[in-house]
């Protein structure tokens, strides 16, 4: 059994920037304590756990709280870090009102979308935002729109039925979606409103990782994606490997999730990782698969 290491894989520049910002903050003794992240800084529990070793607290949103509500849990005078997914103007305003020292780890690609929404809503556009329900990125991005002038669209079926008011319309997207699913949703919206202005904001890192794994999927019997269950981009890698690449794909959080029975009849396996997955975790998965591959070759 051979192991194909897909490239690019793992951390994107937005994730690197966010983690570097947080670690530098932890080392800066001039900053108020405690240092608190408003949600998972990136969607990987191992990256979050590493920040805890620096004394950084994370207020997670697993219970479904909006990040505005999480501000009640931040101690007065704390240093507050916004995650790579971005936050809404309401969160920024409330954090300022409460006097927190704020550090912003928002990915520049997400910030670009925020500015587009600001510009278009200022010009009277209605925003059709394609994104994942419950994910923090749509929460922050849609918060930039004038209240009542934006709606979330998650599927083709929703695109075919969502209420679209008269007047100018702009289509925006989350940065970590499947580019194939997104194209289908955009097409469905354009069937109804061919005059809509389209801004496909899927980031380059997401596109390149998806294209690379689809290409690899055509050459292997199994794709292993290393990533957190909450990582939207990791889950989309599994999805496109199967739906576009046509190859069975599994997601693992760590090497401990690998199952030897997955490899029955497998001659070649590809490994990739979500853009928030730490490299040491991916390397451990690759090493285990390579070890099993050697054993399989010896058995033959």
pLDDT tens column, 198-256: 999 999 999 999 999 999 999 999 999 999 999 999 999 999 999 999 999 999 999 99
pLDDT grade for 65, boundaries at 50, 70 and 90 = low
| Type and span of the H or E element at 23 | helix 13-27
CATH number of the domain within which 129 lies:
3.40.1010.20
Decide if pLDDT at 24 tops 60.
Answer: yes
Decide if pLDDT at 295 tops 90.
Answer: no
Q: What is the percentage of the chain residues whose pLDDT exceeds 90?
A: 93
Give the integer Cα–Cα distance in Å for 179 and 188.
14
Picking from 199, 234, 268, the residue at the C-terminal end of a domain is: 199
pLDDT grade for 62, boundaries at 50, 70 and 90 = low
| Residue 168 shares a structural domain with residue 209 | no
| Residue 208 shares a structural domain with residue 295 | yes
| Residue 184 shares a structural domain with residue 210 | no
Tell me the residue range of the domain where 38 lies.
13-106
Mean pLDDT over all residues of the chain? 95
Picking from 199, 222, 247, the residue at the C-terminal end of a domain is: 199
pLDDT at 66: 75
Picking from 199, 224, 257, the residue at the C-terminal end of a domain is: 199
CATH number of the domain within which 63 lies:
3.40.50.11270
Write out pLDDT tens, residues 242-269. Answer: 999 999 999 999 999 999 999 999 999 9
The number of folded domains in the chain is 3
| Residue 216 shares a structural domain with residue 293 | yes
Interacting residues of 159 by C-beta distance below 8 A, sequence separation 6+: 128, 153, 185, 188, 189, 192
| Residue 233 shares a structural domain with residue 273 | yes
| Active-site residue, selected from the candidate residues 137, 139, 144, 239 | 137
Phi and psi (nearest 5°) for 5? -95, 110
Q: Is 295 a catalytic residue?
A: no
| Residue 115 shares a structural domain with residue 100 | no
Give the integer Cα–Cα distance in Å for 216 and 89.
41
pLDDT at 293: 81
Write out pLDDT tens, residues 110-166. Answer: 999 999 999 999 999 999 999 999 999 999 999 999 899 999 999 999 999 999 999
pLDDT grade for 67, boundaries at 50, 70 and 90 = confident
| Residue 180 shares a structural domain with residue 217 | no
pLDDT at 112: 97
CB atoms within 10 A of CB 48: 21
pLDDT grade for 298, boundaries at 50, 70 and 90 = very low
Taking a C-beta distance cutoff of 8 angstroms, is the pair 174, 141 a contact?
yes
């Amino acid at each position: 059994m051979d192991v194909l290491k897909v490239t690019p894989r793992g951390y994107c520049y937005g994730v690197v920037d966010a983690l570097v910002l947080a670690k530098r903050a932890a080392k800066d003794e001039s900053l108020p304590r405690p240092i608190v992240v408003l949600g998972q800084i990136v969607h990987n529990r191992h990256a979050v756990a590493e920040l805890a070793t620096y004394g950084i607290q994370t207020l997670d949103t697993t219970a479904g709280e909006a990040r505005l509500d999480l501000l009640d849990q931040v101690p007065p005078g704390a240093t507050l870090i916004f995650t790579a997914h971005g936050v809404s103007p309401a969160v920024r305003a409330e954090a300022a009102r409460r006097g927190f020292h704020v550090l912003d780890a928002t990915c520049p690609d997400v910030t670009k979308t925020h500015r587009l929404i600001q510009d278009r809503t200022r010009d009277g556009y209605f925003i059709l935002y394609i994104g994942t329900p419950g994910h923090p990125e749509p929460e922050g991005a849609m918060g930039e729109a004038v209240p009542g002038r934006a709606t979330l669209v998650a599927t083709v079926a929703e695109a075919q039925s969502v209420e679209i008011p008269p007047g100018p319309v702009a289509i925006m997207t989350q940065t970590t979606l499947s580019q194939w699913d997104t194209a289908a949703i955009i097409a469905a919206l354009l069937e109804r409103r061919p005059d809509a202005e389209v801004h496909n904001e899927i980031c380059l890192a997401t596109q390149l990782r998806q294209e690379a794994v689809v290409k690899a999927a055509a050459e292997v019997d199994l794709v292993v994606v290393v990533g957190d269950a909450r990582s939207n981009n990791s889950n989309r890698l599994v999805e496109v490997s199967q739906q576009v690449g046509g190859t069975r794909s599994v997601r693992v959080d760590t090497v401990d999730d690998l199952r030897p029975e997955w490899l029955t009849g497998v001659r070649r396996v590809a490994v990739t990782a979500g853009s928030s997955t730490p490299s040491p975790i991916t390397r451990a998965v690759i090493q285990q698969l390579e070890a099993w591959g050697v054993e399989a070759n010896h058995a033959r």
